[in-house]
Amino acid sequence: MLATLPAQPPALTVAGFVYEPKYDGIRAIVEVVPGGDKASVRLWSRNGNEKTAQFPDVVDAVGEWGRALPGTVVLDGEVTALDPDGDPTGFQRLQHRIHVSVPGYRSAKAQLSPDEQPVALMVFDLLREGEDDLRPLPLVESTDPVRSGQF
């Protein structure tokens, strides 16, 4: 989950290369367990810190999406702040949301609600689908609508 620099950056026009954009947010592993009116959703940072309570709007949106899934999925993505036009913006804006619902946390920064500082989850990869661990597979291998990005 942590980006590393190659010895020499590849040209952005090489056939067969896939590029993951840098959104300047918080990298997240997201577990989605379908069931009932809404799926159960949990988020963790790359350091293993629980982030679920900090992004209730992401949890609600992914929960709505995930209720129709045939089984549990684990996603690799990034939570990023959005500007007024709905476009990803820098980490500085996300800092106003990081501790928005952590009990007892005090910050010099004004903490903003989801309505005041919207965020989005940008999903990069499907790591697990049901009992299938997809991490050993090539990124571009797809055999069904979930794996092909049509979810």
Query: Catalytic annotation on 51?
Result: no
Instruction: Round to whole Å and give the CA distance between 22 and 8.
Output: 18
Cα 110 versus chain centre, distance: 24
List 22, 38, 51, 109, catalytic entry: 22
Residues 6+ positions from 2 with CB-CB distance below 8 Å: 27, 46
- By annotation, the residues acting in catalysis are 22
